[in-house]
Amino acid sequence: MPMSQFILGGARSGKSQRALELAEGTGDRRTFIATAEAWDEEMAERIARHKTERGAGWSTIEAPHDLVSAIHVAAEQADVCLVDCLTLWLSNLMHQDQDIALETEQLCDAIAQMPIPIILVSNEVGLGLVPETPLGRTFRDAQGRLNQAVARVCERVEFVAAGLPLTLKS
């Protein structure tokens, strides 16, 4: 298994399931780093459903903002780390007016130094319509830059569509 894998895809494309499948075959101690926050009932239900889908054998670290620290913790306690997803993490950072370029650089450094396999999941948001609002366009552009930076540092990159993985980099 490559030390770092990046799984991209659209909403409901199967990217999270693909990442889980990759991680399941890697050691007994698996850490899931969750970046989502339950701001409403629908999101709370979605988070609960995803926890159930993962099943036993997973520890979870909630890291909606400080992803790099969570990755360092996972490196000390797990055989494999799965981060799902970078899109929500980016959104959380933007809502806090964080320095996205600096956070991206720190994330890429953490990925490159990871002593255990790490799998990261992110949405590909640049394939659709141009967002109507300036904030939407700013987010789309930041997501594209984040995805490019992570893809450069990861050993393997896949794009998932309709549940089918397509290798972009190996």
pLDDT digits (tens, 9 = 90+) for 68-112: 999 999 999 999 999 999 999 999 999 999 999 999 999 999 999
Strand order in the sheet with 118-123: 58-62, 30-34, 80-84, 118-123, 4-9, 156-161, 164-169
Average pLDDT over residues 149-161: 98
- The tally of domains found in the chain comes to 1
- pTM as predicted: 0.94
Instruction: Please check the confidence at residue 1 and state whether its pLDDT lies above 80.
Output: no
Instruction: Please check the confidence at residue 27 and state whether its pLDDT lies above 80.
Output: no
CATH number for position 56 = 3.40.50.300
Active-site residue set: 50
Average pLDDT over residues 50-55: 78
- What is the span of the domain harbouring residue 53? 4-169
